[in-house]
């Protein structure tokens, strides 16, 4: 669209805006002739135009302050900024999935729109605006209401071109473009909510008195018992899950460490050379004798003993055919034999280059001459042996260095935690560690194998449900368990699942338990943590019987008292609205969801900011959103974060939130009053912002709407400049709570000029580094006096944020800026999240380093506030 056509469309739009809808098209036809395209374009703009919303937004826009370099305008800017000196922690907030900033942009911030000394735009500025409009969508400019237009007038008031341009530029392009219905009239809090109300008197006889006493008690008892049972179940689930996860972590780390240790032994050069030599010897005919007498076999033993510091270490070496070419047996009885059939699969995996965990398992004799030296379970590592060319030429099994004993000790220590039973099972459901409780509860009276009691359960007990009482289960022969079903927990973990069961089920001893289980797929092991149901729910049973006794005693007491009181009694109930203790001083502002008042606590005399949910937003979704904002903000305690004093609902269902009243001015007004800031002051303020965001991020909360208008600055007598972050209306947790209300966004939310690029691409992706980008934009704003990006239409603004770099800060300051400061700003505003500071704490550390070189003293702060902020109370 060229400048001439743009001017024509604008003229027609302004001319028919106030005409009745049935006369608009007729008027256009008379003005445009046969230019149907022009008619359609103007009508399209009218269909998207919301007159009331645009008029409200236009009338609420302030006249922009003029830079201090222009003497006549500087006084005006200072006077107007003083009007907003007392602000609240909840200035008009963001609305749902879109946000509109009603504060005007900084004067002169448009790179192509200069303003002359009188405050009017020059001819070059008008031409620049035309270029902006030609590049973008004209709709974003014409939807703004013209200041001076009033409802009911037939023609708009004349406008100055500078006013039109300034209002177009101050849009953040986050406002909804389409409105399906007229906005409801905002309902102010009724006067009745600050008044004391009295309920009607009720009269009842002794029978009603008994019912009124017993029924609430019964309900309270039922509710309390239910809550206690729920809490006890949650506590049991948390305890079991914590133990199971801790054991899983310990076991996984232990097995990884053991595998790495064995791998380091297998990679030892002399050992590898000895194995390669044995492989070559094994290729000779009738090589069994040569393998036994080979010096390489002695070298393998010596190297393993030296590496492991275990004189009794045991090992077996196979070549690629599965033939034994060396072993720890002194007589080499198994050399020349083949791998057992049940070990062929593990050997094949090792031949492919994997490190394979063997066991826990009880070894048995085989036909190759091997005889187990003990009946206890063993664990081993099966490792590939590579030649100098990197090819796997053999495999080696190493055991006898205390691997199983250390694993068993992990489970023994976990079982000693608060009476839990923690053990490991394999995929067949066999217990492979020694559970002290299993050894206590079960007595194997049918093995007849002469084995000692120590370790009798491990690798022998199939964890099945005996389907009998605990007393008879203690005498159940372990061999009979092969035909019985696995217990609930072991059946789940043996199938490769992780989970929990808080409804009691029988364990291997027939005792009712609750449990949690975890499966370690890498090691083919399962972890089960159980507690007896009796001990897990003891507290709930105690509370339940306590309420039964209380109900009996209360019934008796009420019956005695009812016989002695009068038949009829008048009871007056007074209900006082929770907001009655607050005196409203003035309305401070209205946003997308709430109205903010300055209020004074009647008893304490403390000034507060009282936010009340607007009447036209009093629906379930907005109430839940309002609740979420208050709860999220209340979870923060940093002194640089706004404090929440109270929250609740009134008698009429009004949601309200009482917050700290912040006396000061926003960072936007700070720059508006005195221009860009000294380096030291900007760094000092940003460091305090990092303190607030650092706490929020550590609690898993991302602000998502960090901008100068949401940071209040005041003067502290001992510190100097004191910054406080507020407006958590768009904040979101990194790990959403399934029980709390969450917004599911498909469009972005926030202020576009300060939003990170990834927020445009993935609106629902929550990343703390998006806040770091916004901090970088604030740093640019404080150091240059202008936002990093400004455009008249959203498409152009989005393109700049996504692809372009802002103008150098030195250009705006007309002086060289230290590279180390520029580097911090650029890193914060990097397009890729990976190129930014990883955390706010990392950014804070860098700011601390710079602050040492660019100090900002308390006296300098006091001097600024005496000149520019003396009216701030």
Binding site for ATP: residue ranges? 611
Q: Which residues, in sequence order, are bridge partners of residue 501?
A: 515
Task: Report d(CA 411, CA 242) in Å as an integer.
Answer: 14
Residue 424's closest CA among 474, 494, 372, 366?
A: 494
**What angle, 0 to 180 degrees and rounded to 10, lies between the N-to-C axes of helices 667-674 and 71-82?**
150
Q: In whole angstroms, how far apart are CA 463 and each of 363, 457, 622, 800?
A: 20, 10, 53, 65
Largest CA distance in the chain: 115
Task: Report d(CA 517, CA 247) in Å as an integer.
Answer: 11
Q: Which residues of 590-604 are buried (b: 16+ CB within 10 A; e: fewer)?
A: bbbbbbbbbbbbeee
Task: Report d(CA 791, CA 338) in Å as an integer.
Answer: 79
DSSP 106-174: PTT-STT--B-TTSPBPHHHHHHHHHHHHHS-THHHHTSPPTT--TT-SSPPP--HHHHHHHHHT--S-
Sequence-distant (≥ 6) Cβ neighbours of residue 375 within 8 angstroms: 362, 451, 452, 455
DSSP 353-386: T--EEEEEE-----TTS---S-SS-EEEEEEEEE
Residues tagged in the binding site annotation: 611
- 86, 663 contact by CB (below 8 A): yes
Nearest 5°: the CA angle 587, 590, 592 is 160
* Phi (first) and psi of residue 442, to 5 degrees: -110, 140
Sequence-distant (≥ 6) Cβ neighbours of residue 511 within 8 angstroms: 441, 470, 473, 532
* Phi (first) and psi of residue 212, to 5 degrees: -65, -25
Task: Report d(CA 259, CA 357) in Å as an integer.
Answer: 8
Q: Put residue 405 in one of left, alpha, beta given phi > 0 → left and psi -120 to 50 → alpha.
A: alpha
Instruction: Count the helix, strand and coil residues of the chain and give each as a percent rounded to the nearest 5.
Output: 45, 15, 40
Task: Report d(CA 777, CA 755) in Å as an integer.
Answer: 9
């Amino acid at each position: 669209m060229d400048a001439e056509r743009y001017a024509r469309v604008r003229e027609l739009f302004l001319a028919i805006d106030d005409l009745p809808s049935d006369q608009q098209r007729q008027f256009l036809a008379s003005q445009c002739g046969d230019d149907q395209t022009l008619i359609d374009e103007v009508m399209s703009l009218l269909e998207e135009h919301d007159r009331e919303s645009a008029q409200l937004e236009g009338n609420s826009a302030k006249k922009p302050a003029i830079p201090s370099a222009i003497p006549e305008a500087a006084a005006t800017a200072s006077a107007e900024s003083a009007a907003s000196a007392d602000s609240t922690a909840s200035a008009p907030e963001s609305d749902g999935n879109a946000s509109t900033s009603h504060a005007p942009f900084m004067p002169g911030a448009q790179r192509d729109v200069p303003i002359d000394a009188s405050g009017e735009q020059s001819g070059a500025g008008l031409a620049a605006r035309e270029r902006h409009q030609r590049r973008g969508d004209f709709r974003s400019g014409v939807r703004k209401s013209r200041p001076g237009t009033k409802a009911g007038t037939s023609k708009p008031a004349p406008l100055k071109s500078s006013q039109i341009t300034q209002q177009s530029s101050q849009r953040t392009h986050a406002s909804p473009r389409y409105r399906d219905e007229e906005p409801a009239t905002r309902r102010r809090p009724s006067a009745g909510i600050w008044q004391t109300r009295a309920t009607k008197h009720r009269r009842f006889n002794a029978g009603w008195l008994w019912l009124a006493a017993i029924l609430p008690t019964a309900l309270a008892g039922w509710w309390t018992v239910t809550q206690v049972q729920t809490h006890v179940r949650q506590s049991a689930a948390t305890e079991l899950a914590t133990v199971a996860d801790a054991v899983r972590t310990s076991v996984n780390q232990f097995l990884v460490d053991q595998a790495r240790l064995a791998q380091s032994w297998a990679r030892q050069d002399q050992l590898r050379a000895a194995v390669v030599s044995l492989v070559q010897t094994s290729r000779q005919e009738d090589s069994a004798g040569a393998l036994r007498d080979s010096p390489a076999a002695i070298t393998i033993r010596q190297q393993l003993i030296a590496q492991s510091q275990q004189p009794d270490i045991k090992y077996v070496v196979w070549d690629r055919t599965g033939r034994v070419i060396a072993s720890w047996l002194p007589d080499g009885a198994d050399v020349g034999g083949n791998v057992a059939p049940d070990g062929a699969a593990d050997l094949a995996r090792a031949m492919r280059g994997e490190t394979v965990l063997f066991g826990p398992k009880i070894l048995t004799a085989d036909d190759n001459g091997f005889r187990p030296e003990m009946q206890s379970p063993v664990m081993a590592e099966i490792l590939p042996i590579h030649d100098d060319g990197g090819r796997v030429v053999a495999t080696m099994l190493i055991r006898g260095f205390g691997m199983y004993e250390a694993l068993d000790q992990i489970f023994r220590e976990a079982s000693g935690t608060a009476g839990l039973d923690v053990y490991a099972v394999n995929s067949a459901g066999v217990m492979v560690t020694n559970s002290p409780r299993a050894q206590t509860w079960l007595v194997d009276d049918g093995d007849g194998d002469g084995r000692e009691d120590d370790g009798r359960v491990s690798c022998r007990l199939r964890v099945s449900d005996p389907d009998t009482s605990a007393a008879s289960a203690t005498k159940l022969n372990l061999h009979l368990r092969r035909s019985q079903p696995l217990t609930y927990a072991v059946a789940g973990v043996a199938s490769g699942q992780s989970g929990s069961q808080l409804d009691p089920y029988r364990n291997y001893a027939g005792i009712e338990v609750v449990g949690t289980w975890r499966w370690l797929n890498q090691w083919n092991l399962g972890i089960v943590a159980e507690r007896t149901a009796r001990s897990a729910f003891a507290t709930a049973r105690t509370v339940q019987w306590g309420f039964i006794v209380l109900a009996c005693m209360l019934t008796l007491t009420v019956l005695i008292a009812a016989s002695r009181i009068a038949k009829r009694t008048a009871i007056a109930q007074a209900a006082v609205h929770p907001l009655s203790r607050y005196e409203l001083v003035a309305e401070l502002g209205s946003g997308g969801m709430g109205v903010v008042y300055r209020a004074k606590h009647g008893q304490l005399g403390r000034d507060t900011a009282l936010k009340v949910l607007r009447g036209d937003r009093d629906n379930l979704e907005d109430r839940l959103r309002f609740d979420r904002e208050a709860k999220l903000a209340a979870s923060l305690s940093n002194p640089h974060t706004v404090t929440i004093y109270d929250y609740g609902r009134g008698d009429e269902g009004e949601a309200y939130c009482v917050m700290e009243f912040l006396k000061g001015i926003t960072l936007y007004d700070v720059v508006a009053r005195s221009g860009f800031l000294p380096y030291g002051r900007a760094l000092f303020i940003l460091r305090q912002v990092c303190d607030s965001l650092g706490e929020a991020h550590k609690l898993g909360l991302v602000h998502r709407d960090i901008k100068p208008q949401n940071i209040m600055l005041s003067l502290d007598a001992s510190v100097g400049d004191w910054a406080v972050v507020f407006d958590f209306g768009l904040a979101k947790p990194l790990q959403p709570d399934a029980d709390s209300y969450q917004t599911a966004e498909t469009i972005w939310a926030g202020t576009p000029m300060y939003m990170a690029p990834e927020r445009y691409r993935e609106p629902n992706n929550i990343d703390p580094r998006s806040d770091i980008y916004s901090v970088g934009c604030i740093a640019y704003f404080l150091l240059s006096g202008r936002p990093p990006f400004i455009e008249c239409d959203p498409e152009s603004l989005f393109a700049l944020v996504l692809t372009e770099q802002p103008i150098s800060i030195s250009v705006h300051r007309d002086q060289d800026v230290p590279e180390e400061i520029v580097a911090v700003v650029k890193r914060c505003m990097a397009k890729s999240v990976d190129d930014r500071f990883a955390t706010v704490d990392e950014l804070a550390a860098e700011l601390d380093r710079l602050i040492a070189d660019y100090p900002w003293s308390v006296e300098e702060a006091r001097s600024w506030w005496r000149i520019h902020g003396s009216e701030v109370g």
